[in-house]
Amino acid sequence: MGKRSALFVFALLAFFSLKGFAADPVQERAPDTMAARVLACAACHGARGEGTDDDYFPRLSGKPAGYLYNQLLAFRDGRRKYPPMNYLLAYLPDAYLKQIADYFAAEHPPFPPPSPVTVDAKTLALGKALVLNGDASRKVPACVACHAAAMTGMEPAIPGLLGLHADYLSAQLGAWRYGTRSTVAPDCMKVVASQLSDRDITAIAAFLASLPAPANPVPVAAGSLKMPLACGSVTNQPRD
């Protein structure tokens, strides 16, 4: 059994054992809190959504609630394809997904140290140039144009890109480029990623993974940045 499969089995056991406690009046009941309800998430994403050492499970904590909500919808509805997530969320209603998103958005555990740089200096410099300046000749906007100067994201639905492993970042950019990850139209990340080469993706991922978190690593306020592209996910927000 692979590591990620084992983690999924553990998560399922945690999820169903909580239900078992709640159903048996003889046993002590588990507290009915969001922290208890999201224990199934902790095996892969950390107890507070802080991430783990596994390259492919991202940090969730502190990201805008709207972004997290959109991703939960995407996994449930099949726009993002990863069977464990698709199965876990298959029958959860929108309102409950919003509660999960709100919970992790409100968590702010410390960031880990940046990942060691594993690419050569030229590749890292390319990543820095694309992140900070983009490439106008290919109509590639700078990452900072949407994700903010310190890479902390923007409310309500643009994620921060700090505290993520290079392999995860590279995999997600590749998924956008090849269409295995998508969002509601207009899919701005599909447009951007389609213009990137393999080397571009490696470079961007390596540079982002090398960045330390700022002193106050929270998303900037909604409307702080004039986005260079229309993004459907930014307007796909839940109504209270």
Q: Is 143 annotated as a binding residue?
A: yes
Q: Is 188 annotated as a binding residue?
A: no
Q: Is 146 annotated as a binding residue?
A: yes
Q: Is 147 annotated as a binding residue?
A: yes
DSSP at 201: H
HEC profile of 109-156: CCCCCCCCCCCCHHHHHHHHHHHHHCEHHHCECCCHHHHCCCCCCECC
* First-to-final CA distance of the chain: 42
The secondary element (H helix, E strand) that includes residue 65 is: helix 65-77
HEC profile of 82-95: CHHHHHHHCCCCHH
| Helices 166-178, 198-209: crossing angle, 10 deg rounding | 140
Contact by Cβ (8 Å): 224, 148:
yes
Sign of CA dihedral 177, 183, 189, 190: positive
Q: Computed over its alpha carbons, how large is the radius of gyration of the chain?
A: 18
Binding residues are 41, 44-45, 85, 143, 146-147, 189
Binding residues for heme c are 41, 44-45, 85, 143, 146-147, 189
